[in-house]
Amino acid sequence: MPNPPTTIADEFGIALANLADSATGLLTPTLRLGVTGLSRAGKTIFITALVHNLLTQGRLPGFAPLAEGRFIGARLAEYPDATIPRFAYEQHLASLTANPPTWPEGTRRISQLRIVLRFQSAKWWSGMRGPATLNLDIVDYPGEWLLDLPLLGLSFAEWSAEALDRAGQPGHAAEAEDFLRELEKTDATKPATDPDAERLALAFTTYLRRSREHGALSTLPPGRFLLPGDLEGSPALTFAPLPLAAARHGSLYAMLENRFEAYKDRVVRPFFRDHFARLDRQVVLVDTLRALNTGPAAVADLETALTSVLACFRQGEANPLLRPFSRRIDRILFAATKADHVHHTSHDRLEAILNRLVASASKRARFAGAEAESMAISGIRATSEGTIREGGQTLPTLIGTPLAGETLEGQTYDGKTEIALFPGDLPERPDSVFEDGTPVALNFLRFAPPQRLERIATGDIVLPHIRLDRALDYLIGDWMA
C-alpha cells in the first residue's frame, strides 16, 4: 500500500512540527534517526552500542570521521521534547557491564535520545569555519507499532475480513483455535456489553501472542495489543475482528467498529504524525536467523510483513528547501542482526538472504529517490570464533556462553558454561530458503553478553561489534563529511 492516508489536519500538524524542529536547529543541524525492528531484533542493544561507541570514540575503523581523525567527540544532551520518555542508555549499559552481564530489557514503548557530535568537516570551505556540530536524535520505537500503519487505509470490515482469513488458514489453526471458538459463540448483532468485548479481545490477543512465538508477523496488527504501553486495559485496545454483520446502533459489532476507528484515530495516526513522519534516516533491524530457524513459513511471513510496513515510509530524496516543512527518509538501512550467531564465512549469505527478503521494499525506496542498503551486523558481539576437529574435518565454530535454559540436542545449558559450537552453514542461493520448503539447518542458540570486556587507553569499556562502524558511517557519515 502507499503511504498511510493523512488528513489536511495531519499534514498541517506535521509541517508545524517540522518547522519547530527547524527553528530550534537554526545554528545546529539536527538529524532524526529512526530505529525499529520486530520483537527481539536487538533495537536496545544496537542503540546502546552505537551511543557508547560515539561517546568513547571506540573501535570504529569503518566510521570515516573517526578513521580520518576528524571526529572530535560526543556528549549526551537533553532532548527538546520533554513529553517523550528518554532512552535509558545508562541503565542498559549497566546491565551489559555488570558481573555477570545481562541483556537489557527490550523496547516496549517509544523513546528518544539526543547525542551532540562535534567534528571537523573534510570540506575545505567548511573547515575554514572551524569545528562543526550535529545533533543526532535517535527515535526508538517497537516494530509492532510500525505494523499498525497499514490499518489507516482499512475499514473495520476490511481489516476483519483479512484478519479472519489469516486466522482460518491451516498454518494458523493451532494458534487461532481458541479465538475462533469464542467467535463462534458470539452474536455480533446483539446489544453490546463490555464483558463480551473484553472476552473477545483477550482471546484475540492470546492468538496474536501465540502467532508471534511461532514466527508469524503479518498476523500481528494491532501492534499495541502485544506492546500496549500506557494504554493497557483501555477501551481503545478492547476490540477484535468480527464477521460482517448489520452494524445497528448499540450492537456489539457497532461497538467494536467504533473502537477500531478510535484506535486508528487516537493511537496509530498520532504516532505517524508526531514521530514517524518526521524522520530523516531509518534503521530496520531484522532477526533473519530466527525466522530461518523457525522454518520457511516464518521466512515468507517476515517478507510479507516487511514489504507491507516499509511501504508506509515517507521516502525520497531530501529537498533542503522543503525540509523545514516536510521531511523524507532518504536512507534506509536493513540490518540482519545477530551476525555473531553464524561464522563470518556465512555473513555474505546472510546479507544475500536479507536482500531477498527486502527486495520489494528496497525497489520501492530507490524508485522514490531514497537509498537502501543491507548489512549483516551485531551491535554487541557475544561470541568469538575458533575451530574444532570432527570426523576428520576441521569445522569453524562459535565460542560463547549460551543463556540459561537454552537447549540443543537434548542438552540444557546453565548460563555459565562456555561452549564451542558449529553453527551450520547458510544456503548459497537465497531463493532456496523460499523454494525448498525445509528449515535451514542451523544450530541456533541465544548467547549471553560477552563475559570479559577489554578497555581502551582512556579506561572506557570496549563493546565488541560486527560492522556497527559501517552501519554508522552509512547512516550519518555524509552529514559529517
345-365 confidence digits (pLDDT tens): 999 999 999 999 999 888 888
Contact 75, 182 (CB under 8 A): no
- pLDDT tens digits, one per residue of 399-426: 999 999 999 888 999 999 999 999 888 8
Domain ranges of the chain: 8-141+275-381+465-480, 153-271, 384-435
Tell me the pLDDT of the chain averaged across its residues.
87
- pLDDT tens digits, one per residue of 103-153: 998 877 889 999 999 999 988 766 567 899 999 999 998 887 878 888 888
DSSP 297: H
The answer on pLDDT for 325 being more than 50 is: no
Beta-ladder partners of 334:
284, 374
The answer on pLDDT for 22 being more than 70 is: no
57-75 mean pLDDT: 96
Cβ neighbours of 99 (radius 10 Å) = 5
What contacts 30, CB < 8 A, 6 or more positions away?
21, 24, 134, 135, 136, 137
Buried b (16+ CB within 10 A) or exposed e, 21-46: beeebeeeebbbbbbbbbbebbbbbb
Question: Would you put residue 391 in left (φ > 0), alpha (ψ -120 to 50) or beta?
Answer: left
Pick the CATH number of 8-141+275-381+465-480 from 3.30.565.10, 3.30.360.10, 3.40.50.300, 3.40.50.970: 3.40.50.300
Contact 251, 188 (CB under 8 A): yes
Q: Determine the Cα–Cα distance for residues 152 and 392; give it in Å rounded to an integer.
A: 59
The answer on pLDDT for 333 being more than 90 is: yes
